[in-house]
Amino acid sequence: MLNSIIYPYIKRKKDSLKRRVDIRGDKIWMGPKPKPIDQSDLVIGDVLFCGSAESDKATTLIQNMTDGAYVHCGVYIGNGIVADIATSGARKIKFESFYENYSYLAIGRCPGISPPRQRAIIRYANLCIKNSVKYNWIGAILLPFYEYSYVKSQYRIALGKKYKEPTTYKKRLTKSRLFCSEFVVQCFKSCGYIMKSDPYSISHVCSPTWLAEENTFQLIGYMSSNGLLNVDDSDPFLGGCSYVLEKT
């Protein structure tokens, strides 16, 4: 019932609200056109947003819960290694093995990345692995509802109506369960890029697509075996400007 009725309904409602408050929709592209990049362009702390994946039960559920192009995300921690929270839990995985699971990657970068922040991200990722952090299935299942509630509050703000401000939860960074984008947000809270008290970057409310739509990270480029051909026209970083992609 969640997959066939409730999630599709919530996705339609969220999409409609995001367009009304200008989070999503056709925008004007500013700056250079997106370009294909490769592993040598990555730096520690880059966020890897993943396009569609090979279908299995877990991936199908995640795709149905997400109202955007991304089904997963992880953090590059250097030396050809990606840290993420897979359905099996916290892990380190070789970049090549991570990359081959998805149709393309969008690479986002923290504008204020620095060696101290990079070291903090690595420490946090290692801590999650040391503590055997598991996948937060309940949080992932509830994520569409949390995100819809947040977008609805933005819509009410735009209309000048009363709204309930998101609650800032004082969560320990060393949680025992996280889902993928929750892990990414916690990484950047641990390094100080995202303030722990920020009510608009609550880790359990942020999906991978949401992080891109909110411009939390700057797009560096795309990675795909087919250049830009595999990039989804609805990719959140494009803001409706898929025409800037040179798909040749």
According to the model, what pLDDT value does residue 135 have?
93
Residue labelled with tokens 């735009």: 158
**Domain with 142 in it:** 30-232
* Strand, coil or helix: 82: strand
According to the model, what pLDDT value does residue 4 have?
58
**Over the stretch 157-210, which tens digit does the pLDDT of each residue have?**
666 665 555 554 445 555 689 999 999 999 999 999 988 766 556 667 788 888
Distance between CA 37 and CA 20 in Å, rounded?
A: 33
58: left (phi over 0), alpha (psi -120 to 50) or beta: alpha
Domain-embedded: residue 23: no
> If residue 106 lies in a helix (H) or strand (E), which one and from where to where?
strand 105-109
Domain-embedded: residue 247: no
Domain-embedded: residue 10: no
**Over the stretch 71-83, which tens digit does the pLDDT of each residue have?**
899 999 999 999 9
Alpha-carbon distances of 151 from 123, 227, 237, rounded to whole Å: 32, 33, 18
Q: Which of 9, 7, 16 shows the shortest CA–CA distance to 152?
A: 16
Domain-embedded: residue 161: yes
Over 29-64, what HEC string results? Answer: CCCCCCCECCHHHCCCCCEEEECCECCCHHHHHHHH
Q: Which of 174, 71, 176, 91 shows the shortest CA–CA distance to 134?
A: 176
Query: In total, how many domains does the chain have?
Result: 1
Domain-embedded: residue 62: yes
- How does residue 150 score in pLDDT terms, banded at 50, 70 and 90? confident
The reported pTM is: 0.85
Looking at 115-119, 135-139, 171-175, which range is the least confident one? 171-175
| Whole-number percent of the chain with pLDDT over 90 | 41
User: What CATH code is carried by the domain that includes residue 155?
Assistant: 3.90.1720.10
Domain-embedded: residue 237: no
**Over the stretch 102-114, which tens digit does the pLDDT of each residue have?**
999 999 999 989 9
Domain-embedded: residue 49: yes
